[in-house]
Chains A and B, each alone.
Chain A
Amino acid sequence: MFEDVLLVIEGCLRREERSWNTFVKEFGSMAENILRKFSDLAPHDRENIIQNVFIRLFKGGLNNFQGSTKYEFFKYFKTIVIHEGISYLKSEGKDRENISLNGEDSEGLSLKDWIPNQDPLSRPDLTAEGKEVLDSIQRVMEGFPLLDQQIFWMKLQGYKDEEVKKILGIPLGTVASKYSR
């Protein structure tokens, strides 16, 4: 993976075809990685979303990036991927929540979970409730080492042990043992 992300982006803004090809190759791979973790997306859904992401970036999305480091661009890119994914789900009518009849939750991460609440300000009760829950989680976690907190936080979000292991770069046994504790 290339390191000079910002140089490549500058090249794309100057309409250099070579920079665009490099950008597509590297960030196409990142978009695929981001979307692959969502269990509610089929391969053809991912392809359509990725295509929309790059159309959006080409038609001004890159120009609108205001940051100055690659970390900021990564987050900006992820925001666009998630936004395009949600737009796609809505356009395909796949944005409704599936209610499980036997009461079990579906495994893994779902892109539907990223669909924002319609208007948080119109439901202050939900916002207050959410703050209360998150505050209490924070208080509980404060007593644990940072690595344990990361494992716990990722598992809470729905990451599988294997994914946590790869992202944090720790053995699988550590993930399982620390979370069960």
Chain B
Amino acid sequence: MAVSFESELKKYLKNIEIMKTPSCLDTDTIGFYIENKLPKGEKMRVEKHISSCLYCLNQLTELKELVYFQRQSAPLPSYLLQKIKDLFPKEEKFKKELSKDIFSPFIQRISDLFTFPVRQWRYAAVSLATALAVILILIIYRGFTPEKPFEIEKIQQPRGFTMLSLKEVKNPIILETGDIDTIFEQVRKLIQAHNGKMLEAIWFEKGIKLIFSLRREEETSLFNEFNKLVRIKIEKEGYRDKKGNIVLLLKER
């Protein structure tokens, strides 16, 4: 059976390492020679050696081929490329799971704090800013202290509103007193003590009109308190306006 010289030679090429001598060139020198990065004198020395060394000639052709492959693109099928790229996150996930087993939960929690991904910090910051904005809007809408007592700016001069036309209710509650300012203050505190809310206070000559909200079950108790303060004039009904708020007139005797 005829066997070619080439096929016989392939058998020996597997052992090309046996041709290596101490004076043989290293991979970098051959690489720089291929890419013309050696000084002229060095280049000649390299060429001279390779011409008389089968091991280095083999290194030269092998490296020339690899440098050629580096420049020659042979793209992989996209599904294979993706499959190989996907090795990355799977491995990272595996690493995280492994670290959970090693560290105690407490240390892990601290570790997680420092490894918290940047994009998650961003989401957290946006959420926090949104929450703060909502709170700020609510505060502005309701006032900084929603539970702050009803405040009245009393207009001393001129005493306007000489005419009072009570269209809101048919029979307002009327309190008559000689010291209108003191009684007004006490009335205000009593309303708040009965969980009522002052809505409006209008000064007019010899009197103040008050509008406040109050739950119906608090009415009797509050009116009894009013009665202890001053003379009260109240009808059975007709003192609540259309919105259900109570209208009260504080009059000078």
Q: Which residues of A are in contact with B by a Cβ distance under 8 Å?
A: 1, 15, 17, 20-21, 24-25, 28-30, 32-34, 36, 47, 50-51, 54-55, 58-59, 67, 69-72, 74-75, 78, 103, 105, 113-117, 120, 126-127, 129-131, 133-135, 137-138, 141-142, 145-146, 149-150, 153-158, 166-168
Contact = CB atoms under 8 A, between A and B. Distances in A.
B56 to A, nearest CB: 11
B76 A150 contact: no
B62 interface: yes
A40 to B, nearest CB: 13
A150 B71 contact: no
A149 B220 CA distance: 119
A145 B3 CA distance: 29
Contact of B19 (A28, A129, A131, A142): A131
Nearest to A133: B12
A103 B66 contact: no
A-B interface, 4 closest residue pairs, ranked by CB to CB distance from nearest: A71-B31, A130-B12, A33-B69, A74-B66
Contact of B69 (A30, A113, A155): A30
A24 B19 CA distance: 35
Interface stretch (B82-90, B136-144, B150-158, B185-193): B82-90
Contacts of A29: 69, 72-76
Interface in B157-197: none
Contact of A74 (B2, B47, B63, B84): B63
Interface in B1-60: 1-4, 6-16, 18-19, 27-28, 30-31, 47, 50-54, 57-58, 60
B52 A30 contact: no
Contacts of A133: 8-9, 12
A35 B107 CA distance: 48
B104 interface: no
A156 B6 contact: yes
A30 B76 CA distance: 10
Contacts of B8: 133
B81 interface: yes
Nearest to A100: B1
A141 B60 CA distance: 15
Contact of B87 (A34, A54, A74, A117): A54
B251 interface: no
Contact of A30 (B1, B14, B70, B87): B70
Given A21-B85, A72-B28, A150 B57 contact: yes
Contacts of A33: 69, 72, 74
A117 B14 contact: yes
B65 interface: yes
Contacts of A137: 9, 54
B91 interface: yes
Contacts of A145: 51
A54 B63 CA distance: 21
